[in-house]
């Protein structure tokens, strides 16, 4: 079986997996990283969103062959020690989560968006396709805009 090495939340890791094995299952089953959630396993709900080289990817459809030598960040690697990332902080301040299942993916997509634009418009935020079954989209929008102010982009 092939071995794949990549950086996970700032630490080098190496795992054996089939080339087409989804990153989501390697993260959860082999590496014990449970922040990315499996909702649909079809690239629809996006609860499994993580950053790969700073860009948002749905890990349920990202193969192990696609992450070789790359930098993967999950919700667990977003904070700097005890200091939350501004998006995480905004999520708490705005009281975004209800059930919380989709929130890691939502947060990671918001981080990716804020890396591209310092003042996201409502239209840009609406392009985020992550599904929230609790319907906290208004609070998500508010939190993204608050996080943009915190990051000082």
User: Cα(101)–Cα(40) distance, rounded to whole angstroms?
Assistant: 12
Measure the CA angle with vertex 43, ends 104 and 28; round to 5°: 50
What pLDDT was estimated at residue 151?
A: 82
* CATH entry 1.10.3330.10 includes domain 3-77: no
Phi, then psi, of 57 in degrees rounded to 5: -135, 145
Every domain of the chain and the residues it spans:
3-77, 86-151
Question: In which band, very low, low, confident or very high, does the pLDDT at 152 lie, cut at 50, 70 and 90?
Answer: low
Topology (CATH level 3) of domain 86-151: DNA polymerase; domain 1 (1.10.150)
pLDDT at 12 over 80: yes
Task: Report the predicted TM-score, pTM, of the whole model to 2 decimal places.
Answer: 0.95
**Worst-scoring range by mean pLDDT, 16-30, 81-95, 112-126, 139-153?**
139-153
Encoding tokens for residue 119? 């003042």
Average pLDDT over residues 116-124: 95
């Amino acid at each position: 079986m092939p071995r794949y090495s990549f950086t996970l939340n700032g630490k080098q890791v190496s795992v054996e997996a089939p080339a087409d094995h989804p990153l989501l299952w390697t993260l959860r089953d082999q590496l014990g990283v449970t922040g990315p959630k499996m909702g649909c396993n079809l690239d629809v709900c996006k609860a499994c969103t993580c950053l790969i080289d700073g860009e948002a990817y749905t890990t349920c459809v990202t193969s192990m062959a696609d992450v070789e030598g790359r930098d993967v960040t999950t919700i667990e690697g977003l904070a700097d020690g005890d200091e939350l990332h501004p998006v995480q902080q905004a999520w708490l301040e705005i009281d975004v989560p209800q059930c919380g299942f989709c929130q890691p993916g939502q947060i990671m997509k918001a981080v990716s968006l804020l890396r591209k634009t310092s003042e996201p418009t409502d239209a840009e935020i609406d392009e985020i396709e992550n599904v929230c079954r609790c319907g906290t989209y208004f609070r998500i929008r508010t939190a993204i805009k608050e996080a943009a102010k915190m990051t000082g982009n």
